[in-house]
Chain A
Amino acid sequence: MTAKNKLKVATTSLAGCFGCHMSFLDIDERLFTLLEHIEFDRSPLTDIKTCSPDCDIGIIEGGLCNAENVHVLREFRKNCKILIAMGACAINGGLPAQRNHLPLTTILEEVYHTSPGLANGMIPNDPELPLPLNKVHPIHEVVKIDYFIPGCPPSGDAIWKVLTDLLAGREPELGHGLMHYD
């Protein structure tokens, strides 16, 4: 396969822990096989900062907890033909979403005003810091997502299975053992 025919894959981690990316690397030597079919575009693996406009597949780890996450996700949706949600946080908000039963105002109050130990008792207000969302959202609530790989993290085998199913033009399916929400 020539480089020209290779599928362009972009990946990112939003409100996630990079555990899914680590698990991605767990496909081990199969990465070489994969690289015969794909090339990485924007990704922590390449350090490319923006998506090319003609990406084939975007793989998103993590949910959305702030404005920047939303922007990055929208960039992926705009530039990738297929978007895949990878892991629990992308799929249902995961651990960060466990703040959702508390109002954001209460959280910020508690962390920056009420709790002892912080110097100036101010809510950080640097424009460099993206503003947090009222609630953490899974990514399918903000853009259309085409495929999902559940797991916290999904195993390397599960990621491999979904990607190879897709490359072969099959509807991805995870059987017993590969299908995990934890």
Chain B
Amino acid sequence: MALNEMHAEAVAGVVDRVVARYRRDPSNMVQILREIQEACDWISPEAIDRLQATLGVPRTKIEGVAGFYSFFYTEPRGKYRVLFSDNITDRMLGNRAMMERLCNSLWVERGKVSEDGLVSVGKTACTGMCDQGPALLVNNYAIVGLTAERIDQIAELIRGKVPLAEWPAQFFKVEDNIRRADLLLTADFKPGDALLAARARAPDEGLMASNMRSWREGLPSGIGGPAATLDEIKRANLRGRGGAGFTTGLKWEACRNAPLKAGQRRIVVCNADEGEPGTFKDRVLLSRHPDLVFEGMTVAAYAVGATKGFVYLRGEYRYLLDHLNAVLAHRRREKLLGENILGIPGADFDIEIHVGAGAYVCGEESALIESLEGKRGTPRNRPPFPVTNGYLDQPTIVNNVETFAAAAMIALKGGDWYAGIGTKHSAGTKILSVSGDCERPGIYEYPFGVSVRQVLEDCGATETQAVQVSGPSGICVAENEFDRIIGFEDIPTAGAFTIFNKTRDMFEVARNYVHFFQHESCGFCTPCRVGTSLLKNLMDKLHYGAGSPYDFSEIEKLNQLLQSMSHCGLGHTACNPVLDTIAKFRPAYEKRMNQQDFTPAFDLDRALAAARQMTGRDDAAAHLSTEHGGAA
């Protein structure tokens, strides 16, 4: 494949340059591989040779990491690698027809590389553009709002071998679509304000013992600030926005109190691996309010005494990287990051952005940390937890983008102010990513306690059958539950709010989600690795009309096994969409239950296809009597 051939010296040059920039540190493996692929189009054996030599790590380690992430290719995938987002919302917007159109136009088979090695067209999990789909990624850059016309233009550009950088800029324009803004999305906030407020909150007197572990340790001017900040976060009753809802103050305190071994430091990680299908609010927070997020991280660093921060940005948001790095650079110039922040001696904290490479499981905090360390994104055995043994075994907090944004506002305006918003058990606001069947998909920020019905009204949804709240791992809400509220006491959510009207087949929705979990299982533990595949096969069996009550009981048993035996949340929740839809939309399944008794997935005609083709015999039953078999 001539197009993918690069001279070994050229590849070595790229590898050396990238490796040097990452300080020859193998814990940057994921970033190193990403940059090599960006330069070389794939990770060739020659690139791995060179990496092995320059990084001094075994080949198995490099190949193990490269093989884990969907966006890394150890075989050529073309100069242009097109991946259509295949979330249920993309499907509803007609992504399949778009994909077919592009394949036909380029003479390429889906999932394969064109014969000239120019292009490949495939599909990928939700790319976080659900409010403006159908969407695709080309070499990991997002193009949204696909139309037949745009597909034809893309085909033309690819055929003409036009470099991606020269494609029309409007192709890559992603809308924020903010439809309802509240305290985070309207933040009247000047970078640095939250930090100043946090520092100013230092009590005038009294030296709390627990204070003596932070930036300002021993600094008279700032004494008490971190503890006071932590108090505000606790008083605000802030809970994690990634879905699990762990109390942020407790997490921070545990990290702050975790002992440091010699040479260690505390780490603040912002989880921007927004992989839950249907969620895209972190994308908007990061593109619209990056300073708020970074400031929240810096407040956290101040509170826990961390000196190093990471943003783990999902690979699908690669297009945000340059902008975010520019904001970080600006903050360094403004003395809001780096050494002696705000002029406080010893107040050191900086943030580095790591870009993921297509692995939903890396949204799980310990898998994310593994990935940050340049490894396969496999969730760790716990305990110990990241707050004591996180990044490179150091005390680490991992919080969602939205949590940090809220933390910045709390530092600025105080915990009591924040606790007064929302409900008793759910303080503050929640940003919802609204998509699916409605007139105004986009971003909606509400105080906690808003009802599902209210959101549906605001976004112009009619004839609604169901809402999938918090994505496939969340819950499916049926019409009779629309008065339930968004909040930890009722429907907790990471933010996805996917609407299905009455024309939608809820079985197909669940099947799409099951395929998603199967694709994203990390493969570490037996129940999830094999169980999600078995579940996918069962759903496909129903889809093809061979479903019977037997399959229902099998689905139930698998669910139980996944919930009790799986290693992490992915396995625990992989059956949720199926169980929820069976419970609430049973007719959608009964329609598929064409069989009373056990019916195999096996289909004789399909199983004979190859032999019939080879022999040229198309006899319906292979010339055997159907009443009685042949001789035994």
A and B are partners in one complex rather than unrelated chains: yes
- Asked if B630 and A130 sit within 8 Å, CB to CB, the answer is yes
Interface flag for A35 (CB, 8 Å)? no
Interface flag for A31 (CB, 8 Å)? no
- Asked if B623 and A71 sit within 8 Å, CB to CB, the answer is no
Interface flag for B608 (CB, 8 Å)? yes
Once A125-B617, A133-B607 are accepted as A-B contacts, the answer to whether A71 and B602 lie under 8 Å apart by CB is no
Interface flag for A121 (CB, 8 Å)? no
- Out of B597, B611, B622, name the residue touching A144 (CB < 8 Å): B597
Chain B residues, CB < 8 A from A92 = none
- Out of B602, B606, B615, name the residue touching A131 (CB < 8 Å): B615
Interface flag for A70 (CB, 8 Å)? yes
- Asked if B632 and A131 sit within 8 Å, CB to CB, the answer is no
Interface flag for B208 (CB, 8 Å)? no
Interface flag for B343 (CB, 8 Å)? no
- Asked if A104 and B611 sit within 8 Å, CB to CB, the answer is yes
- Asked if A74 and B629 sit within 8 Å, CB to CB, the answer is yes
Interface flag for A37 (CB, 8 Å)? no
Least distance between A178 CB and chain B CB atoms (Å):
27
Q: Which of A22-30, A42-50, A150-158, A162-170 contacts B (4 or more CB under 8 A)?
A: A42-50
The CA of A144 and the CA of B616, in the complex, are separated in Å by: 32
Once A104-B610, A141-B602, A143-B600 are accepted as A-B contacts, the answer to whether A131 and B630 lie under 8 Å apart by CB is no
A43 and chain B: residue at smallest CB distance: B632
Interface size on B, residues (CB 8 A): 31
The CA of A128 and the CA of B600, in the complex, are separated in Å by: 27
- Out of B602, B616, B617, B619, name the residue touching A137 (CB < 8 Å): B602
Least distance between A120 CB and chain B CB atoms (Å):
14
Interface flag for B480 (CB, 8 Å)? no
Chain A residues, CB < 8 A from B619 = 127
- Asked if B621 and A67 sit within 8 Å, CB to CB, the answer is yes
The CA of A70 and the CA of B625, in the complex, are separated in Å by: 12
- Asked if A67 and B617 sit within 8 Å, CB to CB, the answer is no
- Asked if A133 and B632 sit within 8 Å, CB to CB, the answer is no
Question: Considering residues B604, B607, B612, B621, which has the most beta carbons from chain A within 10 angstroms of its beta carbon?
Answer: B607
Interface flag for B60 (CB, 8 Å)? no
Interface flag for A105 (CB, 8 Å)? yes
The CA of A165 and the CA of B598, in the complex, are separated in Å by: 25
The CA of A97 and the CA of B380, in the complex, are separated in Å by: 37
B606 and chain A: residue at smallest CB distance: A134
Chain A residues, CB < 8 A from B630 = 68, 71-72, 130
Which B residues between 579 and 624 are near A, CB-CB below 8 angstroms? 597-598, 600-602, 604, 606-617, 619, 621-624
- Out of B606, B613, B624, name the residue touching A67 (CB < 8 Å): B624
- Asked if A131 and B622 sit within 8 Å, CB to CB, the answer is yes
- Asked if B611 and A132 sit within 8 Å, CB to CB, the answer is yes
A128 and chain B: residue at smallest CB distance: B623
- Asked if B631 and A49 sit within 8 Å, CB to CB, the answer is yes
- Asked if B604 and A70 sit within 8 Å, CB to CB, the answer is yes
Chain B contact surface mostly: loop
- Out of B601, B608, B611, B628, name the residue touching A50 (CB < 8 Å): B628
Chain B residues, CB < 8 A from A125 = 615-617
Chain B residues, CB < 8 A from A70 = 604, 607
Once A50-B628, A125-B616, A130-B630 are accepted as A-B contacts, the answer to whether A105 and B610 lie under 8 Å apart by CB is yes
- Asked if B610 and A49 sit within 8 Å, CB to CB, the answer is no
Least distance between B487 CB and chain A CB atoms (Å):
47
Once A127-B619, A130-B622, A137-B602 are accepted as A-B contacts, the answer to whether A67 and B597 lie under 8 Å apart by CB is no
A71 and chain B: residue at smallest CB distance: B629
- Out of B550, B611, B614, B615, name the residue touching A133 (CB < 8 Å): B611
A10 and chain B: residue at smallest CB distance: B632
The CA of A71 and the CA of B606, in the complex, are separated in Å by: 15
- Out of B600, B608, B614, name the residue touching A108 (CB < 8 Å): B614
Once A68-B622, A141-B601, A143-B600 are accepted as A-B contacts, the answer to whether A131 and B617 lie under 8 Å apart by CB is yes
A127 and chain B: residue at smallest CB distance: B623
- Asked if A42 and B632 sit within 8 Å, CB to CB, the answer is yes
The CA of A111 and the CA of B154, in the complex, are separated in Å by: 46
- Asked if A49 and B632 sit within 8 Å, CB to CB, the answer is yes
The CA of A67 and the CA of B550, in the complex, are separated in Å by: 25
The CA of A142 and the CA of B611, in the complex, are separated in Å by: 19
B610 and chain A: residue at smallest CB distance: A104
Interface flag for B626 (CB, 8 Å)? yes
Chain B residues, CB < 8 A from A123 = 614-615
Question: Considering residues B601, B610, B626, B632, which has the most beta carbons from chain A within 10 angstroms of its beta carbon?
Answer: B632
- Given A143-B598, A144-B550, A144-B598, output 9 extra A-B contacts at Cβ < 8 Å: A13-B632, A49-B631, A66-B622, A123-B614, A125-B616, A130-B630, A131-B612, A133-B608, A142-B602
Seen from chain A, the residues whose Cβ lies within 8 Å of a Cβ on chain B are 12-13, 42-44, 49-51, 66-68, 70-75, 103-105, 108, 123-125, 127-128, 130-135, 137, 141-144
Mind listing 30 A-B residue pairs with CB under 8 Å? A42-B632, A49-B628, A49-B631, A67-B608, A68-B622, A68-B624, A68-B629, A71-B626, A75-B628, A75-B629, A103-B610, A105-B613, A123-B614, A125-B615, A125-B616, A125-B617, A131-B611, A131-B615, A131-B617, A131-B622, A132-B611, A133-B611, A134-B606, A134-B607, A134-B610, A134-B611, A135-B607, A141-B601, A142-B600, A144-B550
Seen from chain B, the residues whose Cβ lies within 8 Å of a Cβ on chain A are 550, 597-598, 600-602, 604, 606-617, 619, 621-626, 628-632
Interface pairs A-B: 9 shortest CB-CB: A72-B629, A67-B622, A144-B598, A131-B611, A71-B629, A104-B610, A133-B607, A12-B632, A75-B629
